[in-house]
Amino acid sequence: MSEIPKAYEPQSVEDKWYDFWLKQGCFTADPARVTDKRPAYSIVIPPPNVTGMLHMGHVLNNTIQDILSRKARMDGKEVLWLPGTDHAGIATQVMVEKQLKKEEKKSRHDLGREEFLQRVWAWKEKHGNIIINQLKKLGCSCDWTRERFTMDPEYSRCVQKVFVELYKKGLIYRGKRMVNWCPVSQTALSDEEVEMKPQKGFMYHFKVQVAEAPDTWLTIATTRPETIPGDTAVAVNPKDPRYAHLIGKHIVRPLPAELPREQKLIPIIGDEHVDFEFGTGVLKVTPAHDKADFEIGQRHKLAIVEVINADGSMNELAGADLKGLDRFKARKVAEEKLAELGALVETKPYENNVGFSQRADVPIEPRLSEQWFLKYPAVPESKTCVAEGRMKFHPDRWAKVYDHWLTNIQDWCISRQLWWGHRIPVWRKRVRLYERNWTDELLRWGWDDYVEQSWANEPEPIVIRVFRCSDGSEVNPKKDALMPVVRETEGEYDIFVCTNDEQKGRDFEKYGFTQDPDVLDTWFSSWLWPFATMGWPENTETLKKFYPTTDLVTGPDIIFFWVARMIMAGYEYMGELPFQNVYFTGIIRDKQGRKMSKTLGNSPDPLVLIAQYGADALRFGTMRSAPLGQDVLFDEKDVELGRNFCNKLWNACRFRQMVGSADSQIQGEIDSSLLTTDDKWILLKLNEAIREITEALNSYNFSVAVQALYRFFWNEYCDWYVEASKAVLGSAERGNRSAEQERRAANTIAVIDFVLSHTLRLFHPFLPFITEELWHGMGYATDMPENQGGKTIMNAPWPKPFDADFCEAYGLDETHLEFASQKYEVVTLGRNLRRIGNIQSGKKVKFVLKPSREIPAHDGEVIKLLLNAEALDFAEDYVAKKGTPTGHTPFGDLYLPLEGLMDVAAERARLTKEKEKIQIEITKVEQKLANPHFTQRAPAEVLRDHEQRLADWKEKLAHVKMALEALGT
Partner RNA sequence: GGGCGCUUAGCUCAGUUGGUUAGAGCGACUCGUUUACACCGAGUAGGUCGGGGGUUCGAAUCCCUCAGCGCCCACCA
* Cβ-contact 752, 706 below 8 angstroms: no
Which helix (H) or strand (E) segment is 115 a member of? helix 113-127
SS3 breakdown of the chain: % helix, strand, coil, rounded to 5?
A: 45, 20, 35
Contacts 24+ apart (CB under 8 A), 818-824: 819/677, 819/681, 820/677, 820/678, 820/680, 820/681, 821/681, 822/889, 822/890, 822/891, 823/677, 823/859, 823/862, 823/863, 823/891, 824/720, 824/866
Task: Single out the residue of 377, 739, 358 nearest to residue 557, CA to CA.
Answer: 358
Instruction: Write out the binding residues for RNA, residues 294-353 only, by CB under 7 A.
Output: 352-353
- Please select the residue that binds RNA; options are 427, 529, 546, 655, rule is CB under 7 A: 655
Q: Which stretch binds RNA (CB under 7 A): 160-168, 251-259, 504-512, 823-831?
A: 823-831
* Cβ-contact 437, 533 below 8 angstroms: no
What type of residue sits at position 416?
A: R
Instruction: Write out the binding residues for RNA, residues 854-913 only, by CB under 7 A.
Output: 868
Which helix (H) or strand (E) segment is 954 a member of? helix 940-967
Question: Rounded to the nearest whole angstrom, what is the least distance from the CB of residue 927 to RNA in the complex?
Answer: 9
Question: Rounded to the nearest whole angstrom, what is the least distance from the CB of residue 667 to RNA in the complex?
Answer: 17
- Of the two residues 5 and 459, which places its CB atom closer to RNA in the complex? 5
- Of the two residues 486 and 833, which places its CB atom closer to RNA in the complex? 833
Which residues are CB-contacts of 322 (< 8 A; sequence separation ≥ 6)? 226, 229, 255, 256, 307, 314, 330, 333, 334
Site string for RNA, 675-714 (x = CB under 7 A): ----------------------------xx--x--xx--x
Taking CA atoms, 119 is separated from 93, 474, 690, in Å, by 10, 39, 53
DSSP string, 357-417: ETTT-SB-EEEEEEEEEEPPP--HHHHHHHHTTSSEEESTTHHHHHHHHHHT---EE-EES
Question: Rounded to the nearest whole angstrom, what is the least distance from the CB of residue 581 to RNA in the complex?
Answer: 19
Contacts 24+ apart (CB under 8 A), 244-249: 244/270, 246/210, 246/213, 246/216, 246/218, 249/210, 249/211, 249/212, 249/213
- Please select the residue that binds RNA; options are 79, 91, 221, 325, rule is CB under 7 A: 221
Question: Rounded to the nearest whole angstrom, what is the least distance from the CB of residue 527 to RNA in the complex?
Answer: 17
- Whole-angstrom distance, CA of residue 424 vs CA of residue 631: 39
- The phi and psi torsions of 348 (rounded to 5 degrees) equal -130, 150
Question: Rounded to the nearest whole angstrom, what is the least distance from the CB of residue 514 to RNA in the complex?
Answer: 35
Instruction: Write out the binding residues for RNA, residues 115-174 only, by CB under 7 A.
Output: none
Question: Rounded to the nearest whole angstrom, what is the least distance from the CB of residue 175 to RNA in the complex?
Answer: 17
Q: Is residue 832 a contact residue for RNA (CB under 7 A)?
A: yes
* Cβ-contact 296, 303 below 8 angstroms: no
- Whole-angstrom distance, CA of residue 929 vs CA of residue 323: 87
Site string for RNA, 950-969 (x = CB under 7 A): --xx--x-------------
* Cβ-contact 386, 571 below 8 angstroms: no
Site string for RNA, 170-209 (x = CB under 7 A): ---------------------xx--xx-------------
- Of the two residues 244 and 574, which places its CB atom closer to RNA in the complex? 244
- Whole-angstrom distance, CA of residue 604 vs CA of residue 56: 7
Question: Rounded to the nearest whole angstrom, what is the least distance from the CB of residue 625 to RNA in the complex?
Answer: 5
Question: Rounded to the nearest whole angstrom, what is the least distance from the CB of residue 253 to RNA in the complex?
Answer: 14
Task: Single out the residue of 186, 277, 205 nearest to residue 236, CA to CA.
Answer: 277
Task: Single out the residue of 169, 128, 168 nearest to residue 150, CA to CA.
Answer: 128
DSSP H helices in 791-930: 804-809, 815-836, 857-866, 904-930
Question: Rounded to the nearest whole angstrom, what is the least distance from the CB of residue 185 to RNA in the complex?
Answer: 19
- Of the two residues 147 and 723, which places its CB atom closer to RNA in the complex? 723
Q: Checking phi first, is residue 491 left (phi over 0); if not, alpha (psi -120 to 50) or beta?
A: left
Return the HEC string of 227-270.
HHHHCCEEEECCCCCCCHHHCCCEEECCCCCCCCHHHHEEEEEE
- Of the two residues 487 and 944, which places its CB atom closer to RNA in the complex? 944
Site string for RNA, 254-273 (x = CB under 7 A): -------------------x
- Please select the residue that binds RNA; options are 503, 736, 840, 969, rule is CB under 7 A: 840
Question: Rounded to the nearest whole angstrom, what is the least distance from the CB of residue 532 to RNA in the complex?
Answer: 26
Instruction: Write out the binding residues for RNA, residues 350-409 only, by CB under 7 A.
Output: 352-353, 397, 400-401, 404-405, 408
- Please select the residue that binds RNA; options are 631, 636, 873, 926, rule is CB under 7 A: 631
- Of the two residues 543 and 845, which places its CB atom closer to RNA in the complex? 845
Q: Is residue 813 a contact residue for RNA (CB under 7 A)?
A: no
- Of the two residues 34 and 839, which places its CB atom closer to RNA in the complex? 839
20-29 b/e (C-beta count within 10 Å ≥ 16 → b): ebeeeebbeb
DSSP H helices in 262-344: 291-300, 327-340
Instruction: Write out the binding residues for RNA, residues 408-427 only, by CB under 7 A.
Output: 408
Taking CA atoms, 267 is separated from 234, 235, 283, 293, 679, in Å, by 6, 8, 12, 14, 92
Question: Rounded to the nearest whole angstrom, what is the least distance from the CB of residue 418 to RNA in the complex?
Answer: 23
Instruction: Write out the binding residues for RNA, residues 917-946 only, by CB under 7 A.
Output: 917, 921, 924-925, 928, 931, 933-934, 937-939, 942, 945
Q: Which stretch binds RNA (CB under 7 A): 182-190, 466-474, 622-630, 802-810?
A: 622-630
Q: Is residue 648 a contact residue for RNA (CB under 7 A)?
A: yes
CB atoms under 10 Å from CB of 517, counted, come to 12
* Cβ-contact 351, 342 below 8 angstroms: no
- Of the two residues 273 and 479, which places its CB atom closer to RNA in the complex? 273
- Of the two residues 438 and 717, which places its CB atom closer to RNA in the complex? 717
CA dihedral 387, 393, 395, 401 (to 10 degrees): -60
Q: Which stretch binds RNA (CB under 7 A): 206-214, 323-331, 539-547, 650-658?
A: 650-658
- Of the two residues 148 and 946, which places its CB atom closer to RNA in the complex? 946
Q: Is residue 603 a contact residue for RNA (CB under 7 A)?
A: no
- Of the two residues 152 and 914, which places its CB atom closer to RNA in the complex? 914
SS3 289: coil
What type of residue sits at position 316?
A: E
Q: Which stretch binds RNA (CB under 7 A): 77-85, 277-285, 426-434, 535-543?
A: 277-285
User: What is the bridge-based pairing of β-strands 250-252 and 265-270?
Assistant: antiparallel
Question: Rounded to the nearest whole angstrom, what is the least distance from the CB of residue 898 to RNA in the complex?
Answer: 15
Instruction: Write out the binding residues for RNA, residues 4-63 only, by CB under 7 A.
Output: 6-8
- Of the two residues 106 and 835, which places its CB atom closer to RNA in the complex? 835
Instruction: Write out the binding residues for RNA, residues 720-739 only, by CB under 7 A.
Output: 722-723, 726
Question: Rounded to the nearest whole angstrom, what is the least distance from the CB of residue 280 to RNA in the complex?
Answer: 7
Question: Rounded to the nearest whole angstrom, what is the least distance from the CB of residue 774 to RNA in the complex?
Answer: 12
- Of the two residues 741 and 832, which places its CB atom closer to RNA in the complex? 832
Size of the site for RNA (CB under 7 A): 93
Q: Is residue 591 a contact residue for RNA (CB under 7 A)?
A: yes
- Please select the residue that binds RNA; options are 378, 658, 809, 909, rule is CB under 7 A: 658
- Please select the residue that binds RNA; options are 268, 274, 639, 689, rule is CB under 7 A: 274
- Of the two residues 503 and 841, which places its CB atom closer to RNA in the complex? 841
Question: Rounded to the nearest whole angstrom, what is the least distance from the CB of residue 773 to RNA in the complex?
Answer: 15
Question: Rounded to the nearest whole angstrom, what is the least distance from the CB of residue 80 to RNA in the complex?
Answer: 31
- Please select the residue that binds RNA; options are 281, 287, 535, 570, rule is CB under 7 A: 281
SS3 511: coil
- Whole-angstrom distance, CA of residue 471 vs CA of residue 304: 13
Q: Which stretch binds RNA (CB under 7 A): 82-90, 143-151, 416-424, 840-848?
A: 840-848
